[in-house]
């Protein structure tokens, strides 16, 4: 056990330098080393060992075996949830740096435009076509632009430190790569999402309570149990049935909301990418007009600033789509059909009592989530739902694998 603890602690991220470009895939690989995931894996290993002991005990009772198997099943579900939650946290940290970096560039361009506007205001005041108030207003705009640039720079530092803590590496913000299009996968359908809910820790745990209550009734017999004991066990069974039904209803509402959020994020991404394309076209026209002497330089600089602001909005929408997809997976356990790092079993590898996933699935974007945990089948998880694309849920920018 001491060696196991050392190995698990060693899996926690340490701040190591990253001397090369760092990508989204690299960042997500740190999910299995996040503290909660490491803790849940240790709990699973401990309970798996206990299950082996109970199964090998000829004096073990049916209730003992059931509880031991349920402990492993719940640990497995909680570990998978911890991994998916870590993916969300890392994605938010990574996109935070990308957006903060873009905000710094926009702020710097804003300073450039504000400085040019101040220079023009001074020229116009000098030739009598402007006033002192114009100069004062331009100066205030420049001061605000400088303040915004300083704030953006500080925000980038905070965002980068947050990501470094997540992945355990010292990073250069300028070397972070954009998120590849392969990560912008189709939104799973509502049906596929609802079918995945029995894998969530909440439903696994509530269903296990129902199983224990059913077993409690089955193990009581009037020959050795009083009528009140039997009635109490039946009451507990009815309560457990209601709790399972309530848990299902709550998760179904949450699942539908998460699907809608992901679909909305996909649509926002489509709109912002189209808006960026239009702004790029407008910037091209402005460049042509500048070369032809039809507009002053300040007007072209303003067009550049507008294009950079549109690029920032498009980046935020794109990042928001990726995060919404991962939040959907974390909240429902539905499998995203994307890079293998999205898939828990393909990344983490076989757990106690499990066979290794087929090698052909890794990296193909089509691996199914792993089967039932050792020691018992998760209630309602006899099949793994597929992922389909609901109408209008694409990102509209040709993203895919």
CA distance 196 to 84: 14
Distance in Å from the first CA to the final CA of the chain: 42
Helix (H, G, I), strand (E, B) or coil at 376: coil
CA angle 27, 31, 35 (to 5 degrees): 125
Q: Are 111 and 149 in contact (CB under 8 A)?
A: yes
Q: Which residue has the tokens 């940290």?
A: 93
CA distance 18 to 34: 19
* Domains of the chain, each with CATH number or no CATH: 20-349 (1.20.1600.10)
Name the burial class of residue 25, with classes exposed (0-12), middle (13-18) and buried (19+) by CB atoms within 10 angstroms of its CB.
middle
CA distance 206 to 242: 10
Could you write out the DSSP letters of every residue in 208-222? HHHHHHHHHHHT--T
Q: Which has the closest alpha carbon to 193: 78, 324, 355?
A: 324
Give, as one character, the DSSP assignment of residue 352. Answer: T
pLDDT digits (tens, 9 = 90+) for 26-73: 999 999 999 999 999 999 999 999 999 999 999 999 999 999 999 999
Residue 73: partners with Cβ closer than 8 Å, 6 or more residues away: 204, 208, 372, 373, 375, 376, 377, 378
* Per-residue pLDDT, 116: 97
* Per-residue pLDDT, 341: 78
CA distance 191 to 359: 28
Give, as one character, the DSSP assignment of residue 198. Answer: G
Which two structure tokens, joined as six digits, stand for 323?
């995060």
Q: Are 218 and 87 in contact (CB under 8 A)?
A: no
* Per-residue pLDDT, 23: 95
**Could you tell me the CA-to-CA distances from 362 to 281, 328, 334, 356 in Å, in that order?**
40, 21, 17, 11
> Above 50 in pLDDT, residue 392?
no
Better-scored residue on pLDDT, 258 or 372: 258
Helix (H, G, I), strand (E, B) or coil at 176: strand
Q: Which has the closest alpha carbon to 393: 340, 341, 337?
A: 337
Give, as one character, the DSSP assignment of residue 22. Answer: B
What value does the mean pLDDT take over residues 174-201? Answer: 95
CA distance 97 to 165: 13
Task: State pTM to two decimals.
Answer: 0.81
pLDDT digits (tens, 9 = 90+) for 2-11: 444 444 444 4
Which two structure tokens, joined as six digits, stand for 130?
């402007």
pLDDT digits (tens, 9 = 90+) for 213-268: 999 999 988 888 899 999 999 999 999 999 999 999 999 999 999 999 999 999 99
Q: Are 344 and 83 in contact (CB under 8 A)?
A: yes
Which two structure tokens, joined as six digits, stand for 374?
């050792």
Better-scored residue on pLDDT, 357 or 349: 349
CA distance 55 to 71: 13
Given its phi and psi angles, is residue 358 left (phi above 0), alpha (psi -120 to 50 degrees) or beta? beta
> Above 50 in pLDDT, residue 393?
no
* Per-residue pLDDT, 352: 62
């Amino acid at each position: 056990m001491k060696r196991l603890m050392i190995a698990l602690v060693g899996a926690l991220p340490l701040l190591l330098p990253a001397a090369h470009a760092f990508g989204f895939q690299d960042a997500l690989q740190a999910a299995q080393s996040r503290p909660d995931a490491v803790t849940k894996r240790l709990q699973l290993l401990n309970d798996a060992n206990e299950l082996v002991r109970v199964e090998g005990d000829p004096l073990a009772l049916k209730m003992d075996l059931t509880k031991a198997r349920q402990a492993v099943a719940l640990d497995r579900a909680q570990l998978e949830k911890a991994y998916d939650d870590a993916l969300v946290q890392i994605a938010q940290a990574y996109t935070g740096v990308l957006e903060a970096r873009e905000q710094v560039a926009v702020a710097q361009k804003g300073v450039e435009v504000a400085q040019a506007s101040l220079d023009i205001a001074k020229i116009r005041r000098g030739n009598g076509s402007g006033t002192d108030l114009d100069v004062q207003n331009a100066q205030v705009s420049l001061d605000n632009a400088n303040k915004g640039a300083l704030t953006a720079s500080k925000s980038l530092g905070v965002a980068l430190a947050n990501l470094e803590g997540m992945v355990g590496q010292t990073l250069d913000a300028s070397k972070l790569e954009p998120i590849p299009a392969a990560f912008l996968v189709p939104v799973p359908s509502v049906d596929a999402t609802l079918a995945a809910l029995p894998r969530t820790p909440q439903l696994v745990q509530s269903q296990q309570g129902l199983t224990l209550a059913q077993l409690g009734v089955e193990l009581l017999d009037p020959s050795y149990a009083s009528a009140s004991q039997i009635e109490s066990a039946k009451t507990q069974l009815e309560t457990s049935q209601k709790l399972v039904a309530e848990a299902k209803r709550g998760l179904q509402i949450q699942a539908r909301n998460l699907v809608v959020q992901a679909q909305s994020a996909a649509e926002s991404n489509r709109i912002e990418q189209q808006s960026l394309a239009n702004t790029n076209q407008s910037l091209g026209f402005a460049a042509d007009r500048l070369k032809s002497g039809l507009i002053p330089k300040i007007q072209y600089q303003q067009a550049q600033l507008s294009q950079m602001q549109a690029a920032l909005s498009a980046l935020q929408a794109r990042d928001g789509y990726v995060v919404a997809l991962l939040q959907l997976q974390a909240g429902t356990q539905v499998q995203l059909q994307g890079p293998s790092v999205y898939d828990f079993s393909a990344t983490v590898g076989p757990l106690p009592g499990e066979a290794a996933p087929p090698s052909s699935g890794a990296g193909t974007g089509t691996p199914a989530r792993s089967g039932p945990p050792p020691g018992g089948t998760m209630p309602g998880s006899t099949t793994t739902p597929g992922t389909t694309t609901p109408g209008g849920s694409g990102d509209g920018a040709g993203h895919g694998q």
